Structures are given as C-alpha cells and as structure tokens.
Structure 1
Amino acid sequence: MTRITRRRLLGGAAAASLSVPLPEAAAGMDDLAIVRMLIDAHRAAIARWSNLPETWSDQAAVAMWEKASCEKNKAAEALCFYRPTSLEGVHAKAEYMVGCGDFVDQEANDDWTREELISGFLPAGKDLKPWTEKES
C-alpha cells in the first residue's frame, strides 16, 4: 500500500495543474524522477527530430517531419509546464532548460514567453504576473 506523504500530495497537485498531461509512467514516481523522465523524453524527441533527412522529397518525408516536430513540441511543453515540488526537481529542470535552445533561445523561440518559463518553476496555483509600468 502506498503511503500518502506531503511530497506525494504536492506532486499530485503539480500534475493536476499541468496544461499537458504527464505520461502514465509518472504515476507513483517522486518529483525528481518525473523531472528526469520528462528531460529524457525531450532529449529523445530532439534526437529523433535532429536525425531527420535534410531534404524532403515526398509527402511521407514531410509527414515524418511534422510528426517528429509535434512530438518534440509536446515533450517540451510537458517539461516547461511541469512544476517541480522539490528543490532537487527545480534544480534538475533548471540545469537542463538553461542549456537547451528550445527554452533559452528567445529570438528563435515563440512557443512560450519568459513569464510562462518562469511560472513553470513556481508552486501550483502561483503564476508570474508581468509588472505594468505606472503612469507618472
């Protein structure tokens, strides 16, 4: 029987707040294991996308590229919007995202805003509200 702990409860709340559902394999895993699983899934999707041929000579190649792009985007969304519930999870997620162009290259990336990226590190229910300049 699985014991209900504060960490598991917070992990469930974090997963429930996701706009992208976690894979079924995440059930019962601790926070750091979930973050590592999401990182591994993103790395694998990038590898599949990167290994596609440079030229697209037919519809099948275009369909393969679209499928690989969709998988890469879904893996990136799952990692971006997952809110770790432990310091270890936050650290692992931040370390990976800082070194990954999908997340840090803001000029080439219009998939998410800085606010969305930062909000992915905040506790469930907390969101980053961009400041507004007050008129003088």
Structure 2
Amino acid sequence: MTRITRRRLLAGVAAASLPVALPAEAAGLDDVSIVRMLIDAHKAAVGRWDDLAVVWPDEESVALWEKLSAEKDDAAAAVCFYRPTTIEGVHAKAEYIFGCEDFVDQEANDDWTRAELVSGFLPPVMGT
C-alpha cells in the first residue's frame, strides 16, 4: 500500500490544478447540481460500458468498446477533478467517490492515486 506523503499529495494537487471542462448544461447550475450531474453522467457511462456485449475480435466491437471506455474515463475524470465549491458539494462527491469501485478499488485498477482523489477536494494551487 502506498503511503500518502506531503510530497505525493502536493504533486497530485499540482497535477489536478487545471480546471475541469464542464458540459454546457452546467452553466447556471449550483455546485451540488453540478456534482450530481457529473455523477449521473459517470453512472450512465459505466452502465453503457457494462452493458456492452462484445464478441471478440470483431473490429466494430473493439471500436465500440474503446469509445465507451473513453467516455467512461472522461466522465470519471470530470468527477475526480471537479472541485466542489460548497460543503454540500464536497459531501455529495465524497459519498459517491468513496462508494464507487472505479475510484477506490486500488487493487482492481490503477486509474487514480489517492493523492489525485484527495486533490479534487482541495482549492486550486495558487498561481495556476
């Protein structure tokens, strides 16, 4: 198990200091609604990916799997790196992330470091 050190945490914060591109539908929404919208988008992407019945090595199936995988990864990145601006947004995001194996099952995947997950709850690094 990798320990979270100050250096790793700060490196994760620096890596995640870029703003997340939000969908156009987020315009005018409050923070909690944005968090819920991102969560719903991730759940939908995971559902489409899970429902895919692939007969390998059909090229069309491989292309669809790659497309759905990219959608799922993009939706997960939006959830991970969006920084809620309210305590309610933090709670909604934390409840979802820490109950979703895409984020917390570190032995099943290596998509997210703990530092990256934590950095999505911290304010941006000053000067970025």
Contact residue 39 and residue 79 of structure 2 kept, 8 A: yes
Q: TM-score w.r.t. structure 1 length?
A: 0.76
Aligned to 1:98: 98
- Give the aligned residue type for 1:61: S
* Structure 1 residue 54 displacement after superposition: 4.3
Which amino acid letter does the alignment assign opposite residue 52 of structure 1? L
Question: Take 1:88 and 1:74, find their aligned partners in 2: how far apart are those partners?
Answer: 23
TM-superposed deviation, 1:23: 0.6
- Runs of 4 or more, structure 1, over 4 Å off, are none
Q: Residue 54 of structure 2 contacts residue 61 of structure 2 at CA under 8 Å; is this kept in 1? A: no
Matched ranges for 1:30-109 at <5 A: 30-109=30-109
CA contact (8 A) 2:35 2:84 kept: yes
Structure 1: which amino acid aligns with 2:88? E
Amino acid at match of 1:69: S
| Structure with the larger RCO, 1 or 2 (CA within 8 Å, 6+ apart) | 2
Please list every run of 5 or more consecutive structure 2 residues that lacks an aligned counterpart in the other structure: 1-16
Q: CA deviation at 1:55?
A: 2.9
Asked if 2 retains the 8 angstrom alpha-carbon contact of 1:17 and 1:125, the reply is: no
- What residue is the counterpart of 1:111 in the other structure? 111
Give the whole-Å Cα distance in 1 for the aligned partners of 2:74 and 2:64: 15
| CA shift for structure 1 position 112 | 1.8
Structure-2 separation of matches of 1:105 and 1:68: 20
| Structure 1: gaps spanning 5 or more residues | 1-15, 127-136
Separation (CA, whole Å) in 2 of partners of 1:80 and 1:62: 26
Q: Percent identity?
A: 65
Q: Secondary structure at the match of 2:68?
A: helix
Work out the CA distance in 1 between the residues paired with 2:93 and 2:56.
Answer: 34
Structure-1 separation of matches of 2:95 and 2:62: 33
| 1:48-89 CA-partner distances (Å, limit 9, x unpaired) | 000001432410000010000000000000000000000110
Number of aligned residue pairs: give it. Answer: 110
Give TM-score, length-normalised by structure 2.
Answer: 0.81
8 Å Cα contact 1:52/1:65 also seen in 2: yes
